[in-house]
Structure 1
Amino acid sequence: MHGRWRLAILLAAVLALVLAGSGAATAKQHIKRYVALGDSYTSGPLIPLQRLDPVGCARSTNNYPSIVARHLGVKRFTDVSCGGADTTHMTRPQEVTLGVNAPQFDALRPETDLVTLGIGGNDHGVFGSVVGVCPTLRASDPAGAPCQEHFTVDGVDTLKAAIADTGERVSEVLAGIHERSPRATVLVIGYPRIAPPSGTCPDILPFADGDYAWLNDVEETLNAALAKAVAEDGAATFVDMYPASLGHDACAGPEAWIQGKDTDVFAAASYHPRRAGMAGVAAEILRTLRY
């Protein structure tokens, strides 16, 4: 009798494994139509090979949406991410060099299965302000935090205050995605770390020493705003790239996912993801999707 029970348990275990394998295959086949929305941290400026539709969006064929689409083998892949995009460009056209990028929401369809969204860093000019202003202030106080002081007015960090509104805008974007593609799995992609948690590399990331911690704080504030918008939405998932990119900041040498201050026309724009960074984001997305 005990032998029969052991055999039944063994057969049940084998059947469970077979069904699990069958379920995984079915899940992969389910994602057939994928739309990628986002800014330059999605589009991948200067990562070979660059698309030309339009050239001003700096959209790479090896950005993380392209890597994910190839891995999933989707039937229809539409990448409308564009450098410089903010949340308003989900619903209105974006003028870029040598063309116009249509409202990104135009790519969404009722039958869309998967949507990834990487947006928020350009709202209120947050990222542009950081990389445009901070390096110019280093010489004034190399060991201090002159950039943090520059953006602090009457005791209020103006960039972090603006990020609170960005989170609300992302909430509206998520509602718009669900309305247009109600069946889609929606993933909001966080931003990878630019600066290390400790130490400096002024030749690569020319910020004052004290501004490294502040830059991390600004990024964490932005990612927290995105995570909050996702939590309140209740129907999307946040892919947190900040912990996943530990050890891959701009100072990490060969392990860096982010380019430093010097643009490499054959690899990546300054302060933007390299191809390795895109591969890292794609891996986190696929892990989230359980592929």
Structure 2
Amino acid sequence: MRITRIVLAAIAAFALLLTTAAAASAASRHYRHYVALGDSYTSGPLIPLPRLDPLGCFRSTNNYPSMLAIGLHVDRFTDISCGGADTSNMTKPQNVPLGQNAPQFSALRPDTDLVTVGIGGNDSALFGTLIDTCPGLRASDPTGNPCQRHFTVDGVDTIKALLPKTQASIQQVLAGIHARSPHAKVLAIGYPRIAPASGYCPNVLPFANGDYAWLSSVEQALNAAVSGAVAADGKSSYVDTYRPSFGHDACQKPGVAWINGKDLNPLAAAPYHPLYAGMYGETQVIKQHLGA
């Protein structure tokens, strides 16, 4: 019995040593070249201070890629994200005010070993269509769901019907990253929560009360498209920022909210876009995902 106990103790100690070593290895991984791809939820429009390359992309020096690069102590960091980008802008240049953003894949190198990509919300003009349409319908039925009804045709949710195409496009983006940077760890970043799980704040998010839940379901479906693309790709991983942002929606008080509401705040965030607090929060989520 004594020998058995000694053997079992030795096995347990060895297993603990292996687990500790694996955790230390994951936490201490050093990245040589980190590339950030994405749209405005990556670039961080109007979060001080903006970069000028080009100014029209509204890339902040305090977006989550910049914070992550500092936190991970990467050797080289390239942020080519751009406000308004969609999946086509991975391979095509994007015209922006006062300049042009190069195809985002141009930043990828064979030795790139970390890539984050946050894309999909602008495909088929998804976000823009909702923001341009839904607030204007609130007055017609403040407690109902006029926007959901507007986009439901013959029983089909025409907004959610766009997302299979988006998922296929994101899957192509992931394949394109692997082809150009075959040794990179690739993270597809989901979108954080915009509307609260319960309650309303029409002065901040001017949608009809009944549309809040529908708009959240659209965002969840978009995130499902991103995670679905990751699953089909099989070589990348999905970072969920939706669940971690619970309680940090646009209705929350300053400092708690991760997302700005309808009003332009030239020293904090564009309408319906992440605030500094949101970028910081997402950075922590991504670092935890990396085991850093």
| TM-score band w.r.t. shorter chain | over 0.9
Contact 2:44-2:269 at 8 Å conserved across structures: yes
Output the amino acid matched with 1:119. Answer: I
Give 1:157 deviation, angstroms.
1.1
Contact 2:26-2:290 at 8 Å conserved across structures: no
Any unmatched runs of 5+ in structure 1? none
Cα distance, 1:123–1:11 mapped onto 2, change above 3 Å? closer
1:247 equivalent to 2:247? Answer yes
Which SS does the other structure have where 2:159 is aligned?
helix
Task: Deviation per CA, 1:209-237: give whole Å up to 9, x if none.
Answer: 00001100100110011111100111100
Aligned equivalents of 2:23, 2:212: Cα separation in 1: 46
Q: Which residue of 1 aligns with 2:273?
A: 272
Output the amino acid matched with 1:230. Answer: V
Task: Deviation per CA, 1:244-276: give whole Å up to 9, x if none.
Answer: 110000001131100001111110001000011
Q: TM-score, normalised by structure 2?
A: 0.93
Output the amino acid matched with 1:62. Answer: N
Aligned equivalents of 1:97, 1:80: Cα separation in 2: 16
Any unmatched runs of 5+ in structure 2? none
Task: Deviation per CA, 1:27-46: give whole Å up to 9, x if none.
Answer: 432x1110000000000000
Give 1:23 deviation, angstroms.
2.6
List aligned pairs for 1:188-207, cutoff 5 A. Answer: 188-207=188-207
Structure 1 runs (4+) greater than 3 angstroms displaced? 8-22
Contact 2:94-2:102 at 8 Å conserved across structures: yes
Which SS does the other structure have where 2:56 is aligned?
helix
Which SS does the other structure have where 2:214 is aligned?
helix
Which SS does the other structure have where 1:245 is aligned?
coil
List aligned pairs for 1:181-220, cutoff 5 A. Answer: 181-220=181-220
Task: Deviation per CA, 1:114-157: give whole Å up to 9, x if none.
Answer: 00000000000110011111111111110111111111122211
Cα distance, 1:78–1:11 mapped onto 2, change above 3 Å? same
Q: TM-score, normalised by structure 1?
A: 0.93
Contact 2:38-2:85 at 8 Å conserved across structures: yes
Aligned equivalents of 2:129, 2:19: Cα separation in 1: 53
Contact 2:35-2:77 at 8 Å conserved across structures: yes
Which SS does the other structure have where 1:171 is aligned?
helix
List aligned pairs for 1:63-142, cutoff 5 A. Answer: 63-142=63-142
Identity of aligned residues (%): 62
Give 1:194 deviation, angstroms.
0.5
Give 1:164 deviation, angstroms.
1.4
Q: Which residue of 2 aligns with 1:61?
A: 61
Cα distance, 1:109–1:277 mapped onto 2, change above 3 Å? same
Output the amino acid matched with 2:135. Answer: P
Number of aligned residue pairs: give it. 288
Contact 2:36-2:81 at 8 Å conserved across structures: yes
Give 1:99 deviation, angstroms.
0.2
Cα distance, 1:15–1:220 mapped onto 2, change above 3 Å? closer
Q: Which residue of 2 aligns with 1:37?
A: 37
Give 1:286 deviation, angstroms.
0.6
